[in-house]
């Protein structure tokens, strides 16, 4: 038996999470280094996956398959296609930066530490509150679960981690808030737990509705293997009644649309991103939410091709609303983090539109978009986080003239912002262009309207930059230090990557395109259309 | 009933003694029940004759040994094939020895063993007189607040009678899911109910609340028992027999005359329907299904917490076992009559439990309503009427028992000056004061909520799958909706523990002895193992899923 590479990629961060959590309370720094090392090790494994993956080869590669819960017809089946490989690489790439960016975020706040122990009370015993260890352990746990849900080709296995990942995310959002809050710790704590509960309830409801659909799928198909079901659907041996297929599709899609998030199920995202620490906000939008869009491609389209086509018009309209509505609300935000959150909603609209445009350009673009959005949002958000931590405020109005004081910070912020508005030459441009072209081919009106999203993106990004970075230097900002070496180490590689993939996206498209073509052929099995050659 | 029928009834009863055969009892196959009953009787003798200072240890040892021995007997029987190939009706048709019976008996014994540890815990409550005290009253007969109570407390009395009472309850519960005729069913019901009523009144703290709970439980329980008994009488009138097999044959129509004395009433469907409904009502009372759930929150809150844990777990196991046997063995021919009603009960139980739980502010009441919601989920599996339905219910019951006992064991740890601090507001910030205890409780809550990688998810998935395959897709939809509602209040507790600021006058967390730690540890271990690798237990439940007729 060959080395189970995919399992190892997920197990390493999981073990790392346990080890990090077990670091003694006093050895905070050791926990941080351990988490960083583990995330780098995972990145190395992800690179091995990337190298071992042959773009022209089988659809699912590096597969592993073991019997798991026979009574439910569940197998432990892993396998990656090009889309999954790209997203695993993205995840493994971003986590070290997230760890590094959050280096001090979970240190016990000076003064406000633990409540005083009561005299003589035998309470905590040998246990101690260890927020720092917990923070990094939870990040690694999320990484493990995200990676395994990208790898799972068994619906049940996917579902388990899709749902389970909510719990560490929930503790990350609710337990480690942003200290930069205008109204003091008490209000911040209330809003934070509100955001965490909202996040969890939205996603849990989505997940439970999906559970009903998962059970329904089992009743119809008799097993959970994605490949077997997709194969049986394709060769006609598994027939689903039209209404059954549509209900099941809706059950799956609902969960993914909450996670992605798609308008009108998006309202948890601004709260969660606003209240969480910036690294966690990046984790949500750049990594965890990608599972939603990824699952639309992998599960909705492959398992329910007819229903996907049936639902396309509605989904396209919803994604269009997401694009425009998210961008409009971003323009109106006064809070930097919420602005980025609404911008992300707009971008997820593009991704979903690209997936359901059902053209190879649209879907290649969407996949590419997932990767690029991850990198560009991480860059913008993390720099914004550094900015916020210096001034202690999330409000745009509290800043001004930062570029004169901290030119490096302002410069990287600008590049992140320009990437967000899809400036040609930076990575997101390629993907956004592909999505728009792919949509326009089949739905010209929707494509045209969506293009306005770019205009609005330019508006919110540039206004944000202008208000915070240019103009007269505000007195509170005048002593602001520039990026420190640790912060620069976080941002610089992301900026380099943005520029590189903007100029030369071929490495990613080469990996992604074959997978997109086969996904598309699943959907179009019954109504052949002229295949449009994907833009190379 | 006509005069001749009455006459023949008398003459039947007055048949010559010579016709009565000596009953043939398979003692080996009944050994689990006999061991526990025997130990309970020995326990009473210990109470009567052993000096006070040795009673606690003697009782604890005796009970633990008896439960372990009974469990070993179950394992031996199962290994011998009594769960599958050699399954049969023992003790002159009174008891079934088959897969579901053995599986449920094993679950009850293990739950009883774990609950025994929480019963025996004596480290939690610091006693001003330097005595080791458990959760039970010093002297049950002493009036609350009276001088005799104070004297009993000063003397360091403990009610070690709870151990034999626990064993009696366990013995009754062992018989209940195995009962194969209606009289055995009823006797088992009373044998396990009476000790529970009694123990409900034995809380050391908040005694009036505890006694009130006991009275409520007893009155409502007696009412439910009366219903059951009435139903049994009607079914006897219908079938002329109390044996499950005979009733089933009469329902099928394969046998028409069993008892010449009852020719007038036999085969009267009104008797069958009303009788079956009344028996099922009595059982639904025991599982705490809406609308027979009214007692649950008050009793769960008032009873001593270790007992609450045991009741919530083992009573449910036993009663669902009996319900399954009744519906699958006696009334399968009547499926289309009871299914719609059970659908309705399951739906209102799931929704009712989950919705009312949202407003609760006391952790024991919260868990009580959560147990109602869980009864609804289990009912969804019961209704499936497939072998998968049986095995999914078996699995769910086993998974649920250990989570429940563990959760209530955690509740016993969080204390303030008045005993257990069960008001939820006092749990605020527990995650900062005692991260481990809070984390363990969070694991139990997540299991209740059915989050993947916990046993709760595997169980929920199993019953919902069985229900969907059994054609009850709407139940699955209602089930996931109520799961979502239920998740809200489980998560509210987690928020409270981890994200709220600790109160200055907050409770302390007692450091338990090995006993409670074991109970909690077993709960966590079972929760995680059944969550990650449920296949072995599902397989076991699958093999055990066939009722002998």
Whether residue B179 is contained in a domain is answered as yes
- CB of B434 within 8 Å of a chain A CB? The answer is yes
Among residues B547, B482, B488, the alpha carbon closest in space to that of B346 is found at B482
Whether residue B96 is contained in a domain is answered as yes
Greater model confidence, A220 or B178: B178
Between vectors from CA A148 to CA A143 and to CA A152, what angle results, nearest 5°?
A: 160
Contact at 8 Å (CB) between A253 and A311? yes
Q: How far is A384 from chain B (nearest CA, A)?
A: 25
Residue with tokens 């410069």: A411
Alpha-carbon span B254 to A107, nearest angstrom = 76
- pLDDT at residue number A528: 38
- pLDDT at residue number A126: 36
Longest dimension (CA), chain A: 79
Contact between A216 and B535 using a beta-carbon 8 Å cutoff:
no
Contact at 8 Å (CB) between B448 and B486? yes
Q: Where are the alpha helices (DSSP H) in A470-530?
A: 485-503, 506-523
Residue with tokens 């076991």: B540
ipTM of the predicted assembly exceeds 0.90:
no
Alpha-carbon span A155 to A159, nearest angstrom = 6
Contact at 8 Å (CB) between B248 and B203? no
Nearest to B465 among A68, A114, A218 (CB): A218
Tokens of A509: 């498209």
Instruction: Give me the mean pLDDT over the B15-31 stretch.
Output: 75
Contact between A115 and B432 using a beta-carbon 8 Å cutoff:
yes
Omega cis (within 30) before A442: no
CA torsion sign for B91, B97, B102, B105 is negative
Instruction: Give me the mean pLDDT over the B420-445 stretch.
Output: 85
CA distances, B208 to each of A80, B79, B137, B214, B303 (Å): 63, 48, 11, 10, 10
Tokens of B119: 């019963």
Alpha-carbon span A151 to A268, nearest angstrom = 26
How many Cβ atoms are within 10 Å of A427's Cβ, its own excluded?
27
Domain that holds residue B493: 24-543
- pLDDT at residue number A4: 85
Residues from chain B that touch A205, judged by Cβ atoms under 8 A, are 484
Alpha-carbon span A501 to B112, nearest angstrom = 63
Contact between B468 and A216 using a beta-carbon 8 Å cutoff:
yes
CA distances, A100 to each of A32, A139, A168, A377 (Å): 8, 12, 19, 16
Contact between B434 and A219 using a beta-carbon 8 Å cutoff:
no
Backbone φ, ψ for residue B144 (5° rounding): -55, 135
Q: What is the pLDDT of residues B302-323, one digit of tens each?
A: 899 999 999 999 999 999 999 9
- CB of B432 within 8 Å of a chain A CB? The answer is yes
- pLDDT at residue number B498: 81
Alpha-carbon span B356 to A93, nearest angstrom = 46
Nearest CA in chain A to B391: A71
User: Would you say residue B336 has pLDDT above 80?
Assistant: no
Q: Where are the alpha helices (DSSP H) in A104-165?
A: 131-151, 155-164
Whether residue B33 is contained in a domain is answered as yes
Alpha-carbon span A374 to A498, nearest angstrom = 10
Nearest CA in chain B to A215: B465
Strand stretches in B320-395, DSSP E: none
Nearest to B499 among A167, A189, A209 (CB): A189
Bridge partner residues of A77 (DSSP): A65
Residues from chain A that touch B451, judged by Cβ atoms under 8 A, are 163-164, 166-167
Residues from chain A that touch B534, judged by Cβ atoms under 8 A, are 69, 71
Alpha-carbon span A7 to A14, nearest angstrom = 11
Q: What is the pLDDT of residues B56-65, one digit of tens each?
A: 899 999 999 9
How many Cβ atoms are within 10 Å of A324's Cβ, its own excluded?
18
The full length of chain A comes to 536
Residues from chain B that touch A128, judged by Cβ atoms under 8 A, are 435
Contact between A201 and B435 using a beta-carbon 8 Å cutoff:
no
Q: What is the pLDDT of residues B153-169, one digit of tens each?
A: 888 888 888 999 999 99
Nearest CA in chain A to B507: A123
Contact at 8 Å (CB) between A85 and A49? yes
Chosen for mutation from B393, B416, B491, B496 (greatest number of chain A CBs closer than 10 Å) is B491
Nearest CA in chain B to A220: B469
Overall domain count for chain B: 1
CB proximity under 8 Å: B 279-318 to A? none
CA torsion sign for B518, B520, B525, B530 is positive
Alpha-carbon span B176 to B315, nearest angstrom = 10
Nearest to A69 among B452, B453, B538 (CB): B538
Whether residue B211 is contained in a domain is answered as yes
Tokens of B6: 């009455």
User: Would you say residue B34 has pLDDT above 90?
Assistant: yes
- CB of B542 within 8 Å of a chain A CB? The answer is yes
How many Cβ atoms are within 10 Å of B23's Cβ, its own excluded?
8
The full length of chain B comes to 549
Q: Is A422 helix (H, G, I), strand (E, B) or coil?
A: coil
Pairing state of beta strands B508-509 and B414-416?
A: antiparallel
Nearest CA in chain A to B539: A71
Contact at 8 Å (CB) between B168 and B191? yes
Tokens of B90: 């023992």
Residue with tokens 């907050």: B506
- pLDDT at residue number B400: 92
Residue A187 burial (10 A CB sphere; 0-12, 13-18, 19+):
exposed
Whether residue B301 is contained in a domain is answered as yes
What is the percent of chain B where pLDDT is above 90?
36
Contact at 8 Å (CB) between B299 and B217? yes
- pLDDT at residue number B12: 55
Contact between B468 and A211 using a beta-carbon 8 Å cutoff:
no
pLDDT band at B1 (very low <50, low <70, confident <90, very high): very low
Q: What is the pTM of this model?
A: 0.87
CA distances, A262 to each of A295, A304, A345, A415 (Å): 14, 19, 7, 26
- pLDDT at residue number A533: 47
DSSP string, A310-355: HHHHHHHHHHHHHHHHHHHHHHH-SBHHHHHHHHHHHHHHHHHHHH
Alpha-carbon span B497 to B439, nearest angstrom = 9
What is the percent of chain B where pLDDT is above 70?
96
Among residues B451, B452, B474, B455, the alpha carbon closest in space to that of B464 is found at B474
Q: Is A265 helix (H, G, I), strand (E, B) or coil?
A: coil
Q: How far is B397 from chain A (nearest CA, A)?
A: 17
Nearest CA in chain B to A116: B504
* Crossing angle for the helix pair A407-420 and A444-469, to the nearest 10 degrees: 170
Contacts of A105 by beta carbon, 8 Å cutoff, 6+ apart: A135, A176, A277, A278, A279
DSSP string, B67-89: HHHHHHHHHHHHHTTTTTTT-EE
Omega cis (within 30) before B291: yes
Contact between B535 and A175 using a beta-carbon 8 Å cutoff:
no
Whether residue B549 is contained in a domain is answered as no
Alpha-carbon span B337 to B248, nearest angstrom = 15
Contact at 8 Å (CB) between A314 and A356? no
- pLDDT at residue number A119: 36
Q: Is B397 helix (H, G, I), strand (E, B) or coil?
A: helix
Instruction: Give me the mean pLDDT over the B49-68 stretch.
Output: 91
- pLDDT at residue number B17: 57
Tokens of B131: 């005595």
Q: What is the pLDDT of residues B450-471, one digit of tens each?
A: 888 889 898 999 899 888 888 8
Cα of first residue to Cα of last residue in chain B, in angstroms, is 31
* Crossing angle for the helix pair A336-356 and A444-469, to the nearest 10 degrees: 160
Residues of chain A where predicted confidence (pLDDT) is lower than 50: 110-128, 182, 525-528, 533-536
Establish how many alpha carbons lie within 13 A of residue B121's alpha carbon, considering only the half-sphere containing its beta carbon: 32
Full 3-state SS string of A373-411: HHHHHHHHHHHHHHHHHHHCCCEHHHCCCHHHHCHHHHH
Contact at 8 Å (CB) between A43 and A96? yes
Tokens of A111: 């003064």
Contact between B499 and A118 using a beta-carbon 8 Å cutoff:
no
Establish how many alpha carbons lie within 13 A of residue A20's alpha carbon, considering only the half-sphere containing its beta carbon: 28
Contact at 8 Å (CB) between B154 and B96? no
Cα B175–chain centre separation = 12
Alpha-carbon span A374 to A371, nearest angstrom = 5
Whether residue B58 is contained in a domain is answered as yes
Q: How far is A121 from chain B (nearest CA, A)?
A: 7
Nearest CA in chain A to B478: A212
């Amino acid at each position: 038996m060959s080395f189970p590479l995919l399992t190892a990629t997920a197990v390493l961060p999981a073990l790392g999470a346990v080890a990090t959590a077990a670091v003694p309370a006093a050895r905070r720094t050791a926990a941080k280094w351990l988490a960083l090392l583990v995330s780098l090790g995972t990145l190395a494994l992800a690179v091995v996956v990337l190298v071992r993956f042959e773009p022209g080869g089988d659809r699912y590669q590096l597969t592993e398959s073991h019997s798991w819960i026979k009574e439910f017809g569940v197998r432990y089946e892993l396998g990656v296609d090009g889309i999954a490989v790209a997203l695993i690489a993205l995840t493994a790439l971003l986590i070290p930066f997230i760890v590094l960016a959050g280096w001090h975020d979970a240190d016990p706040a000076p003064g406000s530490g633990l409540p005083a122990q009561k005299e003589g009370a035998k309470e905590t015993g040998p246990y101690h509150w260890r927020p720092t260890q917990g923070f990094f352990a939870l990040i690694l746990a999320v990484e493990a679960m995200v990676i395994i849900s990208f790898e799972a080709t068994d619906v049940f296995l996917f579902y388990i981690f899709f749902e389970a990942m909510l719990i560490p995310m929930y503790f990350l959002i609710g337990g480690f808030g942003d200290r930069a809050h205008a109204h003091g710790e008490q209000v911040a704590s209330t809003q934070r737990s509100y955001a965490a509960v909202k996040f969890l309830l939205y996603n849990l409801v989505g997940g439970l509705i999906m559970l009903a659909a998962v059970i329904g799928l089992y009743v119809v198909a008799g097993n959970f293997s994605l490949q077997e079901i997709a194969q049986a659907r394709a060769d006609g041996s598994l027939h689903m009644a039209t209404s059954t297929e549509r209900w099941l599709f809706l059950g799956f899609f609902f969960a993914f649309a909450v996670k992605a998030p798609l308008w009108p199920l998006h309202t948890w995202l601004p709260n969660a991103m606003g209240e969480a620490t910036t690294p966690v906000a990046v984790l949500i939008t750049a990594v965890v939410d990608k599972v939603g869009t990824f699952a639309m491609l992998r599960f909705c389209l492959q398992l329910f091709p007819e229903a996907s086509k049936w639902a396309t018009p509605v989904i396209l309209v919803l994604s269009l609303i997401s694009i425009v509505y998210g961008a409009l609300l971003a323009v109106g935000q006064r809070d930097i983090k919420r602005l980025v959150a609404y911008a992300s909603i707009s971008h997820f609209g593009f991704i979903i539109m690209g997936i359901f445009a059902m053209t190879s350009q649209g879907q290649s673009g969407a996949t590419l978009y997932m990767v690029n959005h991850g990198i560009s949002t991480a860059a913008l958000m993390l720099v914004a986080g550094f900015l916020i931590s210096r001034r202690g405020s999330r409000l745009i109005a509290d800043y001004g003239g930062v570029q004169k004081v901290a030119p490096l910070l302002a410069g990287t912020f600008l590049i992140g912002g320009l990437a967000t508005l899809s400036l040609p030459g930076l990575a997101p441009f390629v993907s956004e262009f592909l999505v728009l072209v792919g949509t326009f081919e089949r739905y010209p009106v929707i494509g045209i309207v969506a293009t306005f999203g770019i205009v609005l993106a330019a508006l919110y990004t540039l206004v944000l930059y202008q208000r915070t970075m240019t103009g007269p230097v505000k007195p509170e900002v005048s002593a602001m230090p520039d990026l420190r070496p640790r912060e620069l180490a976080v941002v610089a590689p992301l900026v380099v990557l943005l520029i590189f993939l903007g100029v030369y996206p071929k490495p990613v498209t080469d990996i992604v395109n074959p997978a997109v073509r086969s996904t598309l052929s699943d959907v179009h099995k019954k109504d052949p259309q002229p295949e449009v050659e994907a833009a190379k | 009933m006509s005069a001749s029928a009455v006459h023949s009834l008398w003459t039947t009863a007055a048949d010559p003694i010579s016709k009565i055969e000596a009953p043939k009892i398979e003692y080996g196959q009944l050994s689990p029940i006999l061991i526990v009953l025997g130990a309970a009787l020995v326990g009473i003798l210990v109470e009567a004759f052993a000096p006070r200072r040795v009673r606690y240890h003697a009782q604890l040892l005796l009970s633990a040994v008896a439960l372990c021995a009974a469990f070993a007997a179950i394992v031996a029987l199962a290994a011998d094939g009594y769960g599958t190939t050699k399954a049969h009706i023992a003790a002159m048709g009174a008891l079934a020895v088959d897969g579901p019976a053995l599986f449920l008996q094993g679950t009850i014994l293990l739950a009883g063993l774990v609950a025994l540890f929480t019963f025996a815990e004596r480290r939690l409550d610091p006693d001003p007189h330097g005595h080791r005290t458990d959760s039970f009253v010093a002297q049950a007969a002493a009036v609350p607040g009276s001088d005799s109570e104070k004297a009993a407390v000063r003397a360091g009395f403990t009610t070690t009678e709870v151990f034999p009472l626990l064993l009696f309850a366990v013995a009754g519960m062992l018989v209940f899911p195995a009962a194969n005729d209606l009289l055995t069913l009823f006797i088992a019901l009373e044998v396990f109910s009476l000790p529970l009523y009694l123990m409900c009144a034995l809380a050391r703290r908040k005694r009036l609340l505890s006694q009130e709970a006991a009275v409520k439980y007893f009155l409502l329980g007696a009412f439910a028992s009366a219903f059951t008994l009435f139903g049994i009488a009607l079914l006897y009138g219908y079938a002329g027999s109390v044996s499950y097999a005979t009733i089933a044959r009469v329902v099928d129509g394969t046998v028409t005359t069993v008892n010449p004395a009852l020719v007038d009433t036999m085969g009267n469907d009104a008797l069958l329907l009303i009788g079956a409904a009344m028996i099922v009502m009595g059982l639904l009372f025991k599982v705490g299904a809406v609308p027979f759930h009214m007692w649950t929150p008050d009793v769960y809150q008032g009873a001593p917490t270790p007992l609450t844990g045991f009741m919530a777990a083992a009573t449910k196991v036993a009663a669902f076992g009996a319900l399954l046997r009744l519906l699958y063995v006696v009334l399968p021919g009547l499926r289309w009559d009871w299914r719609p009603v059970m659908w309705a009960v399951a739906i209102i139980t799931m929704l009712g439990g989950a919705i009312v739980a949202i407003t609760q502010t006391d952790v024991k009441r919260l868990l009580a309503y959560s147990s109602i919601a869980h009864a609804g989920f289990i009912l969804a599996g019961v209704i499936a009427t497939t072998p998968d339905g049986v095995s999914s219910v078996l699995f769910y019951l086993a998974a649920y028992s250990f989570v429940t006992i563990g959760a209530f064991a955690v509740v016993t740890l969080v204390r303030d000056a008045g005993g257990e601090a069960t008001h939820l507001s006092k749990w605020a910030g527990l995650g900062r004061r005692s991260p481990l205890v809070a984390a363990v409780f969070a694991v139990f809550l997540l299991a209740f909520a059915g989050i993947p990688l916990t046993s709760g998810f595997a169980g929920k998935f199993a019953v919902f799958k069985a229900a969907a395959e059994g054609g009850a897709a709407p139940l699955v939809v209602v089930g996931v909706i109520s799961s979502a509602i239920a998740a809200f209040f489980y998560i509210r507790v987690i928020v409270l523990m981890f994200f709220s600021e600790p109160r200055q006058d907050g409770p302390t967390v007692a450091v338990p002895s090995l006993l409670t730690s074991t109970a909690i540890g077993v709960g966590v271990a079972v929760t995680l193992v059944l969550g990650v690798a449920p296949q072995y237990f599902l397989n076991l439940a699958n093999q055990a899923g066939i009722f002998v007729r």
